[in-house]
Amino acid sequence: MRNILFIHQNFPGQFRHLAPALAQAGHRVVALGLNARPGLKGVDQRTYAVQRRPLAEQHLLLRESEAKVLRGEACAAAMLALAEEGFVPDLVICNPAWGEALYVKDVFPNAALVCLMEFFYGTPDADVGFDPEFPVGGVESRMRQRMKNMALTEALMAMDHGVAPTAWQASRLPAAFRPRVEVIFDGIDTQALRPDPLARFDMPARGLSFGVGASVITFVNRNLEPYRGYHRFMRALPSVLARCPDAQVVLVGGDAVSYGAPAPKGQTWKQIFLDEVAGQIDPRRVHFVGQLPYADYLRLLQVSAAHVYLTYPFVLSWSCLEAMSLGCHVIGSRTAPVQDYIEDGVNGHLVDFFDTRALADAMVQALEQRGQDAALRQAARATAVARCDLHTQCLPQWRSLLSRLMGSPV
């Protein structure tokens, strides 16, 4: 039995499957996060407390770095408290993006450290500067990106091994560290996430209920914002709704910002781009449902006739691969993270992120092909099963990596 410590600001995050699996295998598993979220069987969840906020007068380029140092310091204190209780980990698994891995090796120098390297900022052909509609400021922007990588660079130097969720995300890392990074996706329970010909998605407040075969277009993100192509999607809707009079559109997502710059003060990206097309769409056919309970979200995707997933060259969303596992007809942006998994015309369709007409045409075509796209949908699911299945791919890959690292089965 090994002592294993997970650290993640929003635990469980990407470790929602791995942590309980290791506990079930007989290891003692402890997790540190900012907020306790009990419910993972066998995982002893603890919290760390940041002592103060970054100083208001701190140099602008150092504010985010100070926040990460404060989190790292708080984690160090929590780790010392664990050591006083007698818990000394053999293995620490951490997402270092928020600074929590900074002092792991100082507190537990003999522990093996595995870092989940989600995204390295400021690399060519990635998110910054991708969208000319939202220009970034030259040298100052590059300086900010460099500072965002401070905690990640420290983690790369300290870690014994790293994991990246996709090949493209791994390719963003400095070349010198890539040999110590393995590509392992977080994992999808493809047996649970599968097509259901009897699925229904109900919106009783609107008097609507959709089943498989309905002309439903879906668009899903944590928040509706430019990084995930919300503006491009909204601009394509007038053409689609005019050409497909029975089409209904359901958008899932909040009003906040997960990535990139906030909307102008007092506004939201959702409202800005809805207002832009408000006179060209029928609001009775475009439904903003906020952030859905997970079971409702799955039912929505199961009835989707066309699921649109757009993103800057950035971290790939779970929702894209969950949609594929559910057998959706996915229309994705021709950006590198999506191209890792979707081959145009084989298991989905790809369109230029900036081509409004091509996006509209792809949605119309998907609606017109309802019932004739079974092979494409089956290929989408087959891709998810073959490459992202939790039980046959991702957990075994994690166990293999950790066993090699520890020198015995984990």
| Distance in Å from the first CA to the final CA of the chain | 8
**193 inside domain:** no
**CA 338/CA 319 separation, integer angstroms:** 12
pLDDT at 138: 81
Q: Are residues 170 and 298 in the same domain?
A: no
**195 inside domain:** no
Q: What number is the average pLDDT over the span 112-136?
A: 93
Q: Are residues 109 and 208 in the same domain?
A: no
Q: Are residues 123 and 25 in the same domain?
A: yes
Q: Are residues 241 and 383 in the same domain?
A: yes
Q: Are residues 39 and 61 in the same domain?
A: yes
Q: Which two tokens stand for residue 401?
A: 């990596």
Largest CA distance in the chain: 67
**CA 40/CA 262 separation, integer angstroms:** 33
**108 inside domain:** yes
Q: Which of 61-70, 341-350, 387-396 has the lowest mean pLDDT?
A: 61-70
Q: What is the CATH number of the domain that holds 247?
A: 3.40.50.2000
Q: Are residues 345 and 298 in the same domain?
A: yes
Q: Are residues 23 and 122 in the same domain?
A: yes
pLDDT(137) > 80: no
Q: Are residues 173 and 232 in the same domain?
A: no
pLDDT at 152: 96
Q: Are residues 149 and 19 in the same domain?
A: yes
Structural domain including 249 reads 200-388
Q: Are residues 219 and 261 in the same domain?
A: yes
Q: What number is the average pLDDT over the span 124-149?
A: 89
What is the torsion angle, in degrees rounded to the nearest 10, for the CA atoms of residue 267, residue 268, residue 272 and residue 278?
-110
**221 inside domain:** yes
Q: Are residues 147 and 242 in the same domain?
A: no
pLDDT at 56: 84
